[in-house]
Amino acid sequence: MDVDGEDVSRRLHVKFVTKLDSPFKVPVNSVAIPSNVTRLGLSSIVNSIIQSDNPEWKTEPFDFLIDGELIRMSLEEFLLAKGISAERTLEIEYIRAVTPRKEEEPSLHDDWVSAVNGSSPRFILTGCYDGLGRVWSSAGSCSHILEGHSGAISSVAVVNSKDAETVTVATASKDRTLRLFKFDADESVDSSTRVTAYKILRGHKASVQSVSAQKSGDMVCSSSWDCTINLWNTNQSTSEGESVPLKKRKGNNQADESQSEGEAVTTLVGHTQCVSSVVWPEHDVIYSASWDHSVRRWDVETGKDSLNLFCGKALNTIDVGGEGSALIAAGGSDPILRVWDPRKPGTSAPVFQFSSHSSWISACKWHRSSWYHLLSASYDGKIMLWDLRTAWPLSIIETHNDKVLSADWWKGENVISGGADSNLRISSGIAIS
């Protein structure tokens, strides 16, 4: 029996290496392991090696890479598929598995959570169908409520969080306006303070679908159902005196804050249907996705589109990131998440296609520091974490029991998401090196 067992699973000599720090390190010795182990087997081997050195070690899931590719089948099959010789000692790099280890308690909203933003490490910004924006300092503790919209909020963006004192955020709503809010993020969180907008941006003729801020925080751009992208100034009082000063809010004696109204600085026209999503990753480059099945890159200086990718499906969401912050990920009216590389000449075909979802994709976000990781949220209620190095999702988060409308990374190792179950959910402990 033993002899047979040996024959069936050949032994491979492997060496485990890692870029992780000391508690995760294993001695760089060649180990003989059976060739039919999968990721789980490798993970338990590494765990047992670490445990032999450190008795207080708690089991930790690992992911394994050979020549920069994640192992998603048995080691033997992987080597066969990649044509790697099993004779020499294999070097297997291991990383901590990208999967949430902890689920924070949900933060209940009054209505569907249509937008979440985790670009500031200090708070989470959410937009809700009841027309209120909310600021959460942590799970379950709402510090500010941003009020003023008469329609559902469709998108939120953090404009400027560099200042220690006040933070500027922008909200886009289906009432055809955007509002800019300023609040102190470090305020005590005993009770949520209500904040009204210091500036209302009017100009869109239809529902505003998406808002995104320039890195510097001077401008925001917004996209709308009227097929346009508008650029707005964010500062309180413009030099040209565009703003209409001092409008008293009727019937509200609590806050007599002045509200100014802003008009669009520039309008980018080109899309033929609803522009569903915009991102402003660089100083003068805006990417937009539209229901007219196209992804465009706009030059802010000239107001012209410098890139036009045809997708074939109505798109709901776009994000730019990855290697060199140049890859475009977009999802829309089909279950496929597509990633384009605009630097690739001569082709407009997506370089990656991830198709594990079963319904429309509502959100996709690149990890802010990793080149490989991105998340996608879908109407099938799932959030999936992807690594460009494998076609399978790294992890599937199924905490929502209805459509997920928005999702984002927060503080590098959390996934925040809002959906039609009116909850903001935070999945934490995702180790991305």
Q: Rule CB under 8 A: which of 365-384 touch another protein?
A: 379
Cβ count within 10 A of residue 137:
18
- Does position 138 interact with another protein (CB under 8 A)? The reply is no
CB nearer another protein, residue 54 or residue 150: 150
Compute the distance between CA of residue 335 and CA of residue 337 in angstroms, rounded to an integer: 7
- Does position 334 interact with another protein (CB under 8 A)? The reply is yes
Please say whether the beta carbons of 300 and 267 come within 8 A.
Answer: no
Question: What is the contact mask toward another protein in residues 146 to 185, using x (rule: CB under 8 A)?
Answer: ------x-----------------------x---------
Element (H, E) at 53: helix 39-53
Residue from 72, 194, 389, 403 touching another protein (CB under 8 A): that is: 403
Q: Supply the DSSP string of 167-227, one letter for each residue.
A: EEEEEEETTSEEEEEEEETTS--SSPEEEE-SEEEE--SS-EEEEEE-TTSSEEEEEETTS
Q: Rule CB under 8 A: which of 15-34 touch another protein?
A: none
- Could you tell me the two tokens for 34? 């059976």
Minimum distance of another protein from residue 325's CB (angstroms): 28
Please say whether the beta carbons of 279 and 286 come within 8 A.
Answer: yes
Choose the binding region for another protein from 28-36, 165-173, 311-319, 336-344 (rule: CB under 8 A).
Answer: 311-319
What 8-state DSSP symbol labels residue 44?
H
Using a CB cutoff of 8 Å and minimum separation of 24, what contacts does 239-246 make?
A: 243/199
CB nearer another protein, residue 321 or residue 419: 419
Choose the binding region for another protein from 39-47, 303-311, 343-351, 355-363 (rule: CB under 8 A).
Answer: 355-363
CB nearer another protein, residue 31 or residue 420: 420
Q: Rule CB under 8 A: which of 222-241 touch another protein?
A: 225
Minimum distance of another protein from residue 302's CB (angstroms): 28
Element (H, E) at 277: strand 275-282
Kindly list the residues in this chain that would bind another protein in the complex (CB under 8 A).
112, 114, 129, 152, 176, 205-207, 225, 273-274, 276, 291-292, 312-314, 316, 333-335, 359-360, 362, 379, 403, 405, 420
